[in-house]
């Protein structure tokens, strides 16, 4: 297992377009998290799945953001009608009970 | 106000020297404290994790300390190497399972 995988690594899009990111967690981990990180800041929590159930969503996750984890395996994060303020690194992490978070290398989104 | 404050915001040290990073938190109730290392353009990688009953934990040249009474933690890097150049993030877990991230300390190790 090569760890948490995120695709694409970089995404440049024009304002108003929709984007979708994918995260493949460590296979035996049942918990999956999405975070957003801007330059010089720590990651900010967006949402959390246990298996296929989305158990928590941050207030940061506006109506334009939606995340899914069908079948409790990979997850997707979609941003509709992107805005320049959405430009950030989007990090995915997975964990099992009692284990630390294992992060992917993120998807860097630039909205022009 | 962030419940996890890290200092300094950044520091530059000479290769081979030691340095100490600080983390103060107000998260309550407290469950655990983690230090992560984040290289530029990469995701954070766990260095140490301590529960409230642990005072110190080491991982190679990295040593973390925790004082749950004063709500302070430190990360000491011994004999720094160029590869230690990264952001070091303090993460505090509350008893309800929610994690609070600090903004990180940016460390630059120069030859």
Q: Report the half-sphere exposure of B64 (CA within 13 A, side-chain side).
A: 25
B11 class by beta-carbon count within 10 Å (0-12 exposed, 13-18 middle, 19+ buried): middle
pLDDT band at B70 (very low <50, low <70, confident <90, very high): very high
Chain B residues in contact with A91 by the CB 8 A cut-off are 43-44
Alpha-carbon gap: A109 to the closest alpha carbon of chain B (Å)? 12
Q: 3-state class of B43 per DSSP?
A: coil
Q: Is the pLDDT of residue B1 over 70?
A: no
Q: With beta carbons less than 8 A apart as the criterion, state whether B74 and B20 touch.
A: yes
**Does B74 score more than 60 pLDDT?**
yes
Report the residue of chain A nearest B4, measured CA to CA: A42
Interchain contact, B43 vs A106, CB within 8 Å: yes
Of the candidates A42, A102, A103, the beta carbon closest to that of B104 is on A42
The residue with greater pLDDT, A60 or A108, is: A108
Q: Is B99 in contact with A44 (Cβ distance < 8 A)?
A: no
pLDDT digits (tens, 9 = 90+) for B22-51: 999 998 888 899 999 999 999 999 999 999
Number of H helices, E strands in chain B: 0, 11
């Amino acid at each position: 297992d090569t760890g948490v995988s995120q695709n694409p690594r970089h995404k440049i899009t024009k304002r108003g377009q929709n984007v979708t990111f994918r995260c493949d967690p460590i296979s035996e981990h049942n918990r999956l998290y999405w975070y957003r990180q801007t330059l010089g800041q720590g990651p900010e929590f967006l949402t959390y799945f246990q298996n296929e159930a989305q158990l928590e969503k941050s207030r940061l996750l506006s109506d334009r953001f939606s995340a899914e984890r069908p079948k409790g395996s990979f997850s997707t994060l979609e941003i509709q009608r992107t805005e320049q303020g959405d430009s950030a690194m989007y990090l995915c992490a997975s964990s099992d009970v009692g284990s630390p978070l294992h992060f992917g290398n993120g998807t860097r989104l630039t909205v022009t | 106000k962030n419940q996890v404050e890290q200092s300094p915001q950044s520091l530059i040290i000479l290769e081979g020297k030691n340095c100490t990073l600080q983390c103060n938190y107000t998260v309550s109730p407290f469950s655990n404290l983690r230090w992560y290392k984040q290289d530029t353009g990469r995701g954070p990688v766990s260095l140490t994790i301590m529960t409230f009953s642990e005072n110190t934990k080491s991982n190679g040249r990295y040593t973390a300390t925790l004082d749950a009474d004063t709500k302070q933690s430190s990360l000491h890097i011994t004999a720094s190497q160029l590869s230690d150049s990264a952001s070091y993030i303090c993460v505090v877990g509350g008893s309800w399972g929610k994690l609070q991230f600090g903004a990180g300390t940016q460390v630059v190790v120069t030859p």
